[in-house]
Amino acid sequence: MKKFLRITALLLALCLAAFSAVACVEVSDVQGGNSDSENQSIDNAGNANADVSTEKVLFENLPEKDYGGRTVTFLVPGDSFSTYKSCEIMDQESSPELLNEEVKKRNEMVEKKFNVVIDEVRTDSTQTMNQMITNAVTSNLPDYDIVMPYIPDAATLALNNSFYLMNDLEYIDLSNPCWDQNAVESLSINNKNYFATGDISLLALACTHAIVFNKDMISEYSLEDPYTLVNEGKWTIDKLKEMAKKVTAEVDGNTGMSCKDKYGFLINNNFVTSMYVGSGHSLTGKDAEDIPYIQIIEEQQTAFPIFEKIFELVNDAQATGKIDDTTGSYYTSAVAGGGSCWTAATESVANKLALFRAMAIIDIVDLGNYNCNFGILPVPKFDEAQEKHRSFVSTLYATCVAIPVSASDSEMSSIIVQAMCDASTDTTKNAYFEVILKLRKIQDNESEQMLDKIFDGRVYDLGVIYAWGGTDNSIGTFMNKVAFSGSQTFTSSLETISPTVEADLLKTLNAFGK
């Protein structure tokens, strides 16, 4: 993630022009290239100029191809997905101008290099996308060259032999840094990757879990600086709880806690699993042959005390409020006022009514629209002995890329998807994070450093993605349910779901040839 900070001088100029009315950015805060020739390496014709050939760097391992103006069609999540819609393949009216500029720039580079036209088909629901891919595959309809479903849906489609094996496609280089190497390693089974994610998918980055905090409240309550705690290895679950307990209080004048009262920590349901992963452990692991197993079952004795600490934090009313507990006072008071629990949680942070809030990176965009002095932190470690922070990626709405077996020309699809992903690193990815997120929404250099830690430690868990155990009792959701129920049934719940989880895992392994 350190490369996120190396923004070119041209991009910095665009940033400053776009956001000069919003924020002042010191050049020293951004490490980038110092040569204009580096930034002008692609001319308007898409050709490399004499000084530096960025085009050759981007596409040097791809063949020289001229596809005669053929259209390459991506299938992507459309506007009905609201927050979790595609904005990275084609420019969108709802997207910030600078992001649209980088989308166009990236597409022009690929289009002119290979003489293609990039286009997209936008879907109106998850079910529609899955059905469109399935129909194309079963009827051998070459309607889509590249598809971008959410990762769990891609997993299901892969089990039904809907995609080409990316490892076998000559021109897809999954070792290229433009592909998220954590995802490449984590999402494979039996050394097979039927789908992948990387710089081409903004949603896979945006769905990473983290914690936001109100900086003014830190000062008001004379609390320790969270950034210092992270840098000194002291940002732990116990420390979060200790600080949160000093803040929670009734302040709205009405008996009982509501969304108008003050909370030390606001947490949503699926963040329980995130905190378990953040504690340095996983639901699933893989052996030396890249075969997954249910790690939390095999390490149950180790897992229990970790979950117990999380359980106690979640159910300590003096520390924590449950955002989306439909029977809880925070949720009921939020919806009683005609709003949503999610808007209420954002407003709690903005209005100095929440010290810490669990969130995904994408939520920063909404918080940045308020007049709020906030910062961002990684998920806390289990204890100070844990070496590294780990960041769970909530894959439910994180997109990936795959090539359907119905694609008319799998070689062309593989070349274009590799080119698009490679060219996204210094265009759309930088525009989304470096400009929109870091330079506009995040208000201090320390938070930029925190983002690097967060993204460096991203974790994708197969147990969550494949939902082994079923929708209602999967290995990826059972801890969330136990913690929010308020009844400590970790051991019995795990033992109850284990046979189904193991049976589902076996079915997946059979599908992958093991």
Question: With 50 as the cut, is the pLDDT of residue 145 above it?
Answer: yes
Q: Please report the pLDDT score of residue 43 as a whole number.
A: 39
User: What is the arithmetic mean of pLDDT over 41-57?
Assistant: 42
The CATH superfamily label for domain 61-206+397-456 reads: Periplasmic binding protein-like II (3.40.190.10)
For residue 387, report the phi and psi dihedrals to the nearest 5 degrees.
-75, -40
Q: Which of 205-209, 302-306, 328-332, 497-501 has the lowest mean pLDDT?
A: 205-209
User: What is the arithmetic mean of pLDDT over 461-471?
Assistant: 93
Question: What's the CATH architecture for 210-392+467-511?
Answer: 3-Layer(aba) Sandwich (3.40)
Q: Please report the pLDDT score of residue 60 as a whole number.
A: 84
Q: What angle do CA 174, 176, 178 make, to 5 degrees?
A: 100
Q: Which of 45-49, 74-78, 124-128, 375-379 has the lowest mean pLDDT?
A: 45-49
DSSP state of 149: -
Break the chain into its structural domains and give their ranges.
61-206+397-456, 210-392+467-511
DSSP secondary structure string for all residues of 157-221: HHHTT-B--GGG-TT--TTSTTB-HHHHHHH-BTTB-S-B-BTT-HHHHHTBEEEEEEHHHHHHT
- The top-scoring range by mean pLDDT among 81-90, 217-226, 453-462 is 217-226
Q: Do domains 61-206+397-456 and 210-392+467-511 have the same CATH topology?
A: yes
Q: Which of 148-157, 235-244, 423-432 has the lowest mean pLDDT?
A: 423-432
DSSP state of 329: H
Token code pair at residue 431: 């525009």
pLDDT tens digits for range 469-496: 998 789 999 999 999 999 999 999 999 9
Q: Please report the pLDDT score of residue 327 as a whole number.
A: 93
Contacts of 105 by beta carbon, 8 Å cutoff, 6+ apart: 427
In whole numbers, what is the pLDDT of the chain averaged over residues? 87
Contacts of 449 by beta carbon, 8 Å cutoff, 6+ apart: 227
Q: How confident is the model at residue 45 (pLDDT cuts 50, 70, 90)?
A: very low
Question: With 60 as the cut, is the pLDDT of residue 28 above it?
Answer: no
Question: With 60 as the cut, is the pLDDT of residue 4 above it?
Answer: no
Question: With 60 as the cut, is the pLDDT of residue 439 above it?
Answer: yes
User: What is the arithmetic mean of pLDDT over 31-47?
Assistant: 36
Phi-psi region of 32 (alpha: psi -120 to 50; beta: other; left: phi over 0): beta
Q: Which of 259-273, 348-362, 433-447, 488-502 has the lowest mean pLDDT?
A: 433-447
User: What is d(CA 124, CA 143) in angstroms, rounded to the nearest whole number?
Assistant: 17
Q: Please report the pLDDT score of residue 175 as a whole number.
A: 95
Question: With 60 as the cut, is the pLDDT of residue 26 above it?
Answer: no
Percent of the chain with pLDDT over 90: 72
User: What is the arithmetic mean of pLDDT over 233-251?
Assistant: 97
Q: Please report the pLDDT score of residue 211 as a whole number.
A: 97
